[in-house]
Amino acid sequence: MTRAASSASKGKAPRTARGEKTLRKILDAALAEFGQRGFHESSIVGITSRAKVALGTFYTYFDSKEAVFGALVRDMSGRVRDHVAPALEGAAGGLDGERRALAAYLRFVADHKEVYRIIDEAEFVDPAGFRAHYETTANRIAGRLAAATDSGEVRDDGPLANEVRAWALMGMNVFLGLRFGVWGEENEDKVASLANDLVQRGIKT
Amino acid sequence: MTRAASSASKGKAPRTARGEKTLRKILDAALAEFGQRGFHESSIVGITSRAKVALGTFYTYFDSKEAVFGALVRDMSGRVRDHVAPALEGAAGGLDGERRALAAYLRFVADHKEVYRIIDEAEFVDPAGFRAHYETTANRIAGRLAAATDSGEVRDDGPLANEVRAWALMGMNVFLGLRFGVWGEENEDKVASLANDLVQRGIKT
């Protein structure tokens, strides 16, 4: 099952490639609708008319406006991960990988400025999804730092250190994305290098 | 004029100490109401009944629910600043000051968990206030880093470096506060020391 397909409400996952394509259209339309109007001003009709599908088609896949919003949060969270993951390949080491990941993230948010509105509004509309997004992301970073600690690249400062570092790195990335991706643009490799220089010197052995 | 007094709607600032006290009660009640119910579910009557003031009293100071929300964002932003500023006094240097500031911030958010809901919901209810809060905070940190660069404590890596570092530090602090102040608690001095160790090694000369 593709990520889009698995985002449908319970028992409503599409069973054909055509259904998956329709579901993808609904998610893209939901991103535009929620991103521009916010959750409260958005409507299911707004989503279906952007997606050019019938109202009934929406209910084939989702139970409610809340359900499609929650699905969109998981979808965006997964899209960020999928966009950033390839950047980690071919890095000179774990910490160089974090630099590449940040540069890829800055590029992604500059191209998808709505991502902040969606994830941030989840704090109010879908608090469990909001928390899951950040805990999953922090755990992923902490796992990479643990591997870099094992390989001797990152200092071993006890069990709490890599968790603190993971939340610190995630926070850096989120706010650098807000400042240098959403609110203003700046060469992403330059910003990523400056931030990563701080991180590398900060935690390398 | 006190900070609370200056948060009233235009032409509605209190002129007496008693008026200022009433305004403070309304802001505290607004914090409880918006913090628990969120902006959309909150009402002016909810605020006045928590504050135990008449509905007319609310309109003596504020024009609308949006106006008191915007005032609350500025008030919380100022309270965070006022709580953190004394921690900077008596620091061993600029970077030690950042450690003390983070520890003070973690204590503040553990005691005022609603602060995240208020500032974060401002992205949707009062976008200009939201952006002003973070730009002001980042500028304050960048100013401290510039002073530490001048004194030779922080490396001079060109004009963009301290702006990137300021947004990186702010993001670290916000996410460490979310993880170790709002969602779970941990010894704040320990968390601040681990994070500050990264920063000190990362940017010192």
Which band of pLDDT confidence, cut at 50, 70 and 90, is reported for residue B160? very high
Per the structure, the count of domains in chain A is: 2
pLDDT recorded at residue A67? 96
Same domain, B177 and B102: yes
Which residues contact residue A190 at a Cβ distance below 8 angstroms, ignoring those fewer than 6 apart? B160
pLDDT at B98 over 90: yes
What is the ipTM metric for this complex?
0.93
Same domain, A183 and A122: yes
Range of the domain at A34: 3-63
Same domain, B43 and B116: no
Q: Indicate the SS3 state at residue B73.
A: helix
Which band of pLDDT confidence, cut at 50, 70 and 90, is reported for residue B5? confident
Same domain, A59 and A158: no
Give, as one character, the DSSP assignment of residue B63: S
Average confidence (pLDDT) over B13-21: 91
Average confidence score pLDDT of chain B: 93
Same domain, B41 and B77: no
Same domain, A136 and A187: yes
What radius of gyration do chain B's Cα atoms show? 19
Compare CB distances from B164 to A116, A160, A194 and report the shortest one's residue. Answer: A194
Chain A environment of B198 (Cβ under 8 Å): 165, 168, 198-199, 202-203
Q: How far is B2 from chain A (nearest CA, A)?
A: 31
Same domain, A39 and A114: no
pLDDT recorded at residue B93? 85
Angle (CA) B167 B173 B174, round 5°: 90
Residues of chain A with pLDDT under 70: 1
Domain boundary among A38, A63, A88: A63
Give B4-57 as a 3 state SS string. Answer: HHHCCCCCCCCCCHHHHHHHHHHHHHHHHHHHHHHHHHCCHHHHHHHHCCCHHH
Same domain, B182 and B91: yes
CATH number (domain holding residue B189): 1.10.357.10
pLDDT recorded at residue B1? 62
Chain B environment of A203 (Cβ under 8 Å): 198, 201
Q: How far apart are CA B70 and CA B130, in angstroms?
A: 9
pLDDT at B105 over 90: yes
Q: Which residue of A has its CA nearest to B158?
A: A194
Locate tokens 């009934």: which residue?
Answer: A56
Same domain, B23 and B87: no
CATH number (domain holding residue B37): 1.10.10.60
Which residues contact residue B2 at a Cβ distance below 8 angstroms, ignoring those fewer than 6 apart? B20
Domain boundary among A63, A81, A101: A63
Same domain, A78 and A162: yes
Domain boundary among A63, A91, A106: A63
Locate tokens 């470096």: which residue?
Answer: B161
Same domain, A169 and A117: yes
What share of chain B in percent tops pLDDT 90? 83
CB atoms within 10 A of CB B202: 24
Compare CB distances from A160 to B116, B120, B194 and report the shortest one's residue. Answer: B194
